[in-house]
A and B are shown apart, each in its own frame.
Chain A
Amino acid sequence: MFESLTDKLDGIFRKLKGRGSLDEENIQSALKEIRMALLEADVNFRVVRDFIEDIRKRAVGQEVFDSITPGQQVVKIVHDRLTELMGGVSSRLKFGSRFPAPIMLVGLQGCGKTTTAVKLARLVAAQGKRVYLVSADVYRPAAMEQLKVLGGKIGAGIFAAAGLQDPIEICVQAVEEARRNGYEVIVVDTAGRLAIDAQMMDELKRIKAQINPSEILFVADAMTGQDAVNVAGRFDEQLGIDGVIMTKMDGDARGGAALSLKAVIGKPIKFVGVGEKIEALEVFHPERMASRILGMGDVLTLVEKARATVDEKEARDLEKKIRKNEFTLDDFRNQLTQIRKMGSLQDILGMIPGMKKIKALKEMTPDEGELVKVTAIIDSMTAKERRNHLIIDGSRRKRIARGSGTQIQDVNRLLKNYTEMRKMMKRMTKGGIKSLRRGNFFF
């Protein structure tokens, strides 16, 4: 989408002559860029303002070491601070000593509570606890049915609210039922509501008063904009939030709301939802979130995702190939297929540090829809051509275009992208995949 922050800052600092230390003056335009990056990532305006002030204080006077550029130095300060602010994490759930321990999920409409309730129940069940589920959503059509179907998949107990219309009554009875049947934890899914809807907020307060949850978790959509602070603030004021779950993190939103929420509620972000599947709930990693907000790519997640999808040997082979510059068009296509398996291409590319650095990459990054075309083109090449792209001359290009139902320009572009990718991969893997894994790639 745009150049990485590190690039921009390097650009700014390049104009400075000597190195020496960071001062009020030479840091000014850098802070402006950081501010823009944070706002673009949807961090709340006021949170950004305080954060920038904080960074100014921290950065000024710092010496710049020879080993890194001032741009990298500032990014590191920002990244570390973001990590620290969003950290203090504990993904542990408090259960207390009562049976069942009620965990209550609250949030706006459409933020993903129901799916998250079941994901959470699965996680708790995996810790060996017996889990019960209840939906207190009597408003949205088929909300209870949704919980029932999903909950059934993980084999959790589910409260049947047959005939009951009052959410408070439903919760009370469900807790009672859970206790009778020896469940240790009950996850309470509530209807989505606006924080300004007094009547609906009151309902939550009454549920809370009746069942006294051991945890109240605020579920927030990673795509949320500036309003996140208002909403979270109101929920927290009225209910007292114990933690946050960020959902839809498998998209490409930069997720600045995470920082805003942390700033407002001051409670840990415990989990993140990373997909529609019931297993797609992970613990929160502040340093990854920091990278993501800054648009810097997320090495660790990439490596993990890649590890889950591509088997180790394949990865090692690939690495060898790249190093020896033997990365063929076949590998290129396989890569693309792998990437499709892993999820969004943009996600993946965005996770590789340096990927966004290379301008040309913007054009060579096939947009998601183009993947199909790219595959078709490569499929229309002969095995020989795929092994050695250098032999693909004008007439071969024409034939390939015809064979794949594309234009010759498409073929040209693909070949250009491929060579570009080769060059870049070679540069990137100088230290090998292992250095990526150590996570010391940016600084």
Chain B
Amino acid sequence: MGQDNDNKGFFDRLKAGLAKTRKLLLTDVDDIILGSKEIDRALFEELEEALIVADVGPAFTGELIESLKEKVRRKELGSPEILRKVLRETMREILLKNEAPLKIPPDQIYTIMVVGVNGTGKTTTIGKLAHQLKGEGHEVMLVAADTFRAAAVEQLEAWAKRAEVPLIRQAPNADPAAVVYDALRSAKAGRPGVVIIDTAGRLHTKVNLMEELKKMRRIMGRELPGAPHEVLLVLDATTGQNAVVQARMFRDEIGVTGLILTKLDGTAKGGVVVRIARELNIPLRYIGVGEQVDDLRPFRAGEFVEALFAQNGR
């Protein structure tokens, strides 16, 4: 929570955040490759460990390693440096295909629904996003559709204050679909802008809760054609391979249009996102790098992989 960060400027923090990301993501891989002069079995083994420890997943890691080995057999790769380049390119290409910053058209009501399993950082991310969009000149309104978790509304309310944006809320335990309905009504009556809807955390395996989200979706679409314009799935970088299952279920059931990966300021590396990008092709929007209001960064594949593989990035 780095209180001492509070008086640093945005750019300092951006840099600090990136340096941290760079350091914590896959630099291990570089250490390994640069540290050894020859391509040998030990190199591959260490490489495998680095990828798996970053949560890239055993099967995908196996594939990556196999294809590198094959290239070495065919004499296409002669040195650890080239090996490193190829690995970096492979990962970058996968991520690049899914790098897609959120683009919000002006002068219309643009609705964003934020979903995910419990505790991934939905509410916090919404606070940060509201702050950011407001800074970009958008009208922003938050909607407290997590009527289930105790004090969820109060939590979002605090973020709305922080970001200085209005909040639509109802009594606790109100039907979330009714809250959303209300919100769209009042959005339509007011000025065009971005409407961000916080939903209760739910495990993707709970049928009734997934149905509840679908119902919210349906009501939104009925009130405002095209809504929700964006469905953001918030994933926690600490999560292992189950993140792929989450992403698949939320995509298939709810229709996720973008991903946010939070808690990259920790020691977890979030490598599972590469697997998600490859297997599911969901646009990657933002990363979360802390608990403060400006700890949200656009996801940039180039930067990300550059950070992963930078030679002297520390």
Residues on A facing B (Cβ under 8 Å): 1, 35-36, 39-42, 44-45, 108-112, 139-143, 145-146, 148-150, 191, 193-197, 199-200, 221, 223-227, 230-231, 248, 250-254, 256-257, 276, 340, 343-347, 367-369, 371-372
Contact = CB atoms under 8 A, between A and B. Distances in A.
Given A141-B158, A195-B266, A343-B205, 5 more contacts: A145-B154, A146-B150, A225-B241, A226-B268, A227-B268
B207 A340 contact: yes
Contacts of B269: 226-227
Interface of B: 1-4, 49, 52-55, 57-59, 62, 117-121, 148-152, 154-155, 157-159, 203-208, 210-211, 214, 236, 238-243, 245, 249, 252-253, 263, 265-269, 272, 291
Contact of B151 (A145, A227, A344, A369): A145
A34 to B, nearest CB: 12
Interface centre among A109, A139, A199 (most CB of B within 10 A): A109
9 contacts: A39-B57, A110-B120, A225-B268, A225-B272, A227-B55, A227-B266, A230-B267, A251-B117, A344-B206
Contact of B242 (A44, A194, A252): A252
B150 A110 contact: no
Q: Which 10 A-B pairs have the closest CB atoms?
A: A225-B240, A110-B119, A141-B158, A344-B205, A42-B240, A142-B154, A149-B150, A39-B58, A146-B151, A227-B268
Given A40-B58, A225-B240, A369 B1 contact: no
Contacts of A111: 119
Contacts of A371: 207
A146 B149 CA distance: 8
B207 A140 contact: no
Nearest to A251: B203
B52 A226 contact: yes
Contacts of B151: 142-143, 145-146, 148-149
Contact of A110 (B55, B121, B206): B121
Contact of B267 (A227, A340, A344, A369): A227
Contacts of A145: 150-151, 154-155
A252 B58 contact: no
Nearest to A149: B150
Nearest to A222: B242
B205 A226 contact: no
Contact of B52 (A39, A109, A224, A347): A39
B207 A223 contact: no
B121 A109 contact: yes
A254 B57 CA distance: 13
A139 B249 CA distance: 32
B244 to A, nearest CB: 10
A221 B119 contact: yes
A223 B268 contact: no
Considering residues A223, A347, A368, which has the most beta carbons from chain B within 10 angstroms of its beta carbon? A223
A207 B83 CA distance: 49
B268 A112 contact: no
Contacts of A372: 211
Contact of A248 (B149, B158, B203): B203
Given A146-B149, A227-B55, A110 B205 contact: no
Given A108-B266, A149-B151, A369 B210 contact: yes
Contacts of A221: 119, 236, 238-239
Contacts of A194: 263, 265-267
B240 A45 contact: no
B109 to A, nearest CB: 27
A257 B240 contact: yes
Given A111-B119, A371-B207, A251 B242 contact: yes
A143 B210 CA distance: 26
A200 B53 contact: no
Contact of B2 (A42, A197, A346): A197
Contact of B204 (A36, A195, A251): A251
B206 A224 contact: no
Interface centre among B2, B58, B155 (most CB of A within 10 A): B58
Contacts of B117: 223, 248, 251
B202 to A, nearest CB: 9
B238 A227 contact: yes
Contacts of A253: 240, 242, 245
A346 B205 contact: yes
Contacts of A347: 205
A144 B36 CA distance: 52
